[in-house]
Amino acid sequence: MFRLIPREPKFFRMFAEVSQNLTEGALLLQNILKSPANMATRLDRLQEIEHRGDDLTHSIITTLNQTFITPFDREDIHRLTSSLDDVLDFVNSAGVRLRLYRIDAPPPVASELAGFIVQDPIRLIKMKELYEVLESATDKAEDAANVLEAVALKSA
């Protein structure tokens, strides 16, 4: 079926990439807090992940500014992008404080807290999948309505 308004699926791919990067950073922080061996090298890697997150965020904002029709509200895309970036910024900030304050034996509860951060982007990916399936169901309902309309016109 021809669509008058094209869908722009790249935002979903970009959010999935941001979520994967955020998950990688949160898992790394959790692992550092569980087992602080070789902390300096791992904190450097966390910093790299955070910089990649900044690049991904910039890419989404640039794409948002260049896209006329978005899959959902522009402000929501911007808010979601900024929120995910904030989470990764704070994950990195925790790593910075480990280095700054020379915390070489973090308390066990710190890794437990980091574990909660790991769960958020995974849930986001699951919700994205749910929304995509619901969108497909809505599209199929629209197709059915179009068929019914055609039948009604032929019968008139």
- Give tens-digit pLDDT for 68-123: 888 889 999 999 999 999 999 999 999 999 999 999 999 999 999 898 888 886 67
Residues 6+ apart with CB under 8 A from 46: 25, 28, 29, 32, 91, 92, 95
Range of the domain at 55: 10-126
Whether 150 is in a domain gets the answer no
Residue 16 in contact with residue 127, Cβ under 8 Å? no
Residue 11 in contact with residue 70, Cβ under 8 Å? yes
Whether 142 is in a domain gets the answer no
Confidence of residue 128 (pLDDT cuts 50, 70, 90): confident
Mean of pLDDT values over 35-47 = 97
Q: Is the pTM higher than 0.85?
A: no
Q: Which two tokens stand for residue 75?
A: 């402000």
Q: According to the model, what pLDDT value does residue 9 have? A: 77
- The pLDDT of residue 5 is above 60: no
Q: pLDDT averaged over the chain?
A: 90
Question: Smallest Cα–Cα separation from 15: which of 65, 46, 56?
Answer: 56
Distance between CA atoms of residues 104 and 38, nearest Å:
10
Mean of pLDDT values over 6-16 = 81
Radius of gyration (Cα) for the chain, nearest Å?
A: 21
What's the CATH code of the domain at 117?
Answer: 1.20.58.220
Q: According to the model, what pLDDT value does residue 18 have? A: 95
From residue 141, alpha-carbon distances to 106, 130, 134 in Å are 54, 17, 11
Q: According to the model, what pLDDT value does residue 60 have? A: 97
Instruction: Report the number of distinct structural domains present in the chain.
Output: 1
Q: Which two tokens stand for residue 45?
A: 């890697």
Distance between CA atoms of residues 152 and 131, nearest Å:
31
DSSP state of 49: H
Whether 156 is in a domain gets the answer no
User: In the chain, pLDDT over 90 holds for what percent of residues?
Assistant: 65
Confidence of residue 126 (pLDDT cuts 50, 70, 90): confident
Which helix H or strand E contains 111, and what residues bound it? helix 108-155
3-class secondary-structure state, position 14: helix
Confidence of residue 24 (pLDDT cuts 50, 70, 90): very high
The amino acid present at 34, given as its one-letter code, is K
